[in-house]
With several copies, the nearest count.
Chain A
Amino acid sequence: MSNISSSQIFTWIERYAAQIAEQKDYLTQLDAAIGDGDHGANMHRGLQAILVKKADLQNTDIGALLKGVAMTLISTVGGASGALYGTFFLQASTLAGGKTELSPREFGSLLEKGLAGIVLRGKAAVGDKTMIDALQPGIKAYKDSIESGETMEQALSKAVSAADVGLSSTTPLIARKGRASYLGERSAGHPDPGASSTVLLFRSAAETLC
């Protein structure tokens, strides 16, 4: 199984930016229902800022690339998602210092490290109706697939499916974290915007990393 190059990682982020741009209004709409209607605009602002730095980010190792992505998200997105997605990439970057390629297994460890960072910052668990509900099952599906010897393509496809199922699982939930929690029972019946943007993160990976 071939490794993931740093240029592939950037392509992943670029694809993610494109998907966010396309889904911006939809994400905002989801956030308007149970939050404050800015999730699409927030993510879009951050990812566009990353594209501006393309020249710098493309010519560096994966650790520096991910750190650059993290710092850009942190300093341009704001809100809960800026801090959390920023932390995700920042933590992931710590395992990739100096590396110019990653094995599928290493990539899995990066994702896990990122997830742990989000959990530490945001203190949410599966079932709280947050991005964790898509991120955790997505990463688990990826890792399980890689562990059982499946291809990158298979692993990422399973990750997308699991994240999607995770996203759907948020719909009936009453939010316990983030802005949606202020709505109490009124938050039930709507999917979580952050879980929705997380599904796109896996989907863009599946389209670019294999």
Chain B
Amino acid sequence: MKKLINSPENVVLESITGLGAAFSELIKIHTNPNYITRADAPVENKVALVSGGGSGHEPMHGGFVGRGMLDAACPGAVFTSPTPDQMFEATKAVNGGKGVLHIVKNYTGDVLNFEMAADLARAEGIEVEAVVIDDDVAVKDSLWTAGRRGVGTTVLAEKICGAAAEAGHSLKEVAALCQNVNKNGRSMGMALTSCIVPHAGKPTFDLPEDEMEIGIGIHGEPGRTRTKLKSADEITEVLLQPIVEDLPYKSGDEVLLFVNSMGGTPLLELFVVYGKAHEILTRQGIKVTRSLVGPYITSLEMAGASITLLKLDDEMTKLWDAPVLTPALRWGV
């Protein structure tokens, strides 16, 4: 296993320690239980945003803690949802008296552990709302299943809701906005290679040299289908079409186009995908008015990409453009 780590047991703690050292002006690392808060937390009279999930998706979520985005992030073990005590402590630490929003990706583990944390926090009199992000069109939605996974839209929701909280919106409003972002966001991803979970020490799945996985999640889990390798243009089509059809996104819509690297795919390639996606959408009359391109919600060193579309309204666009000052997203300030 070729990794720049010391041991699978210590990688998460050592990594967030490094993150904290690099960005000590923006964030503060708390350990035992592990969570990351804004350096200036709690911010009085602001709705606080807490997210979290398994590690291995960096910069999400720790890299999104800071002004205009998250107040706290709770990193679990690699690909394993964090435990309730992490979210409970984080929630208490960032509560500024206006309530706390939990932004939860729809995985059974994340949902259950966040629920338990919210119960604990409410028992201490903290107002907590939770919004579950479930935007992955690769997974067929149904009342009878765990439903869709939460993927790329999470990043956008954290940015947009973080700006709303900064602007003084109430907990109910920020939660409703988060629901609305989730309702208007759709994603799909693919993998060229598997990743290696440090504890496992070998690839989660074997993928022959001429095949790829379509419809993968962000935990190294296999996708919906395995197909022969295709060109970047074809892959972009394969990812984009189910997304566009699902909402559906229509001619005249304004969208944010988010092309994400799963970690191992370099920018050179990512911008080829972005260019093609932009071209396809433009041809369909869908206007790309905002973009995000890069490794933002990753799967360790997995090679592959995901595409997220978010249908924007004026409010969301304004909130997207609002200042943000975090380790991984920085603008306007």
Contact = CB atoms under 8 A, between A and B. Distances in A.
A41 B77 contact: yes
Contacts of A186: 222, 224
A103 to B, nearest CB: 31
A75 B84 contact: yes
Interface string B291-326: 000000000000000000000000000000000000
A32 B84 contact: no
Nearest to A28: B200
Contacts of A182: 136, 138-139, 146, 149, 217, 221, 224
B33 A75 contact: yes
B144 interface: yes
Contacts of A34: 221-222
Contacts of A45: 77
Contacts of A36: 79-80, 197, 204, 219-221
Given A75-B85, A78-B83, A176 B145 contact: yes
A78 B54 contact: yes
Interface string B128-140: 0000000010111
Contacts of B108: 80, 122, 177-179
Instruction: Give the bracket for the number of chain B residues in contact with chain A.
Output: 35 or more
Contacts of B153: none
Given A36-B221, A45-B77, A177 B200 contact: no
B116 interface: yes
Interface in B126-163: 136, 138-140, 144-146, 149
B268 to A, nearest CB: 15
B109 A183 contact: no
A82 interface: yes
B224 A82 contact: no
B118 to A, nearest CB: 12
A74 interface: yes
Interface string A24-58: 00001000101111100110010000000000000
A181 B138 CA distance: 12
Interface in A98-124: 121-122
A45 B82 CA distance: 13
Contacts of A80: 81, 107-109, 112
Nearest to B147: A181
A181 B145 CA distance: 7
A156 interface: no
Contact of A184 (B116, B144, B224): B224
14 contacts: A38-B78, A38-B79, A38-B197, A74-B84, A77-B80, A78-B76, A78-B109, A79-B81, A82-B81, A83-B84, A83-B113, A122-B112, A182-B136, A182-B138
Given A45-B77, A78-B109, 7 more contacts: A37-B79, A37-B220, A38-B200, A78-B83, A82-B80, A82-B81, A184-B140
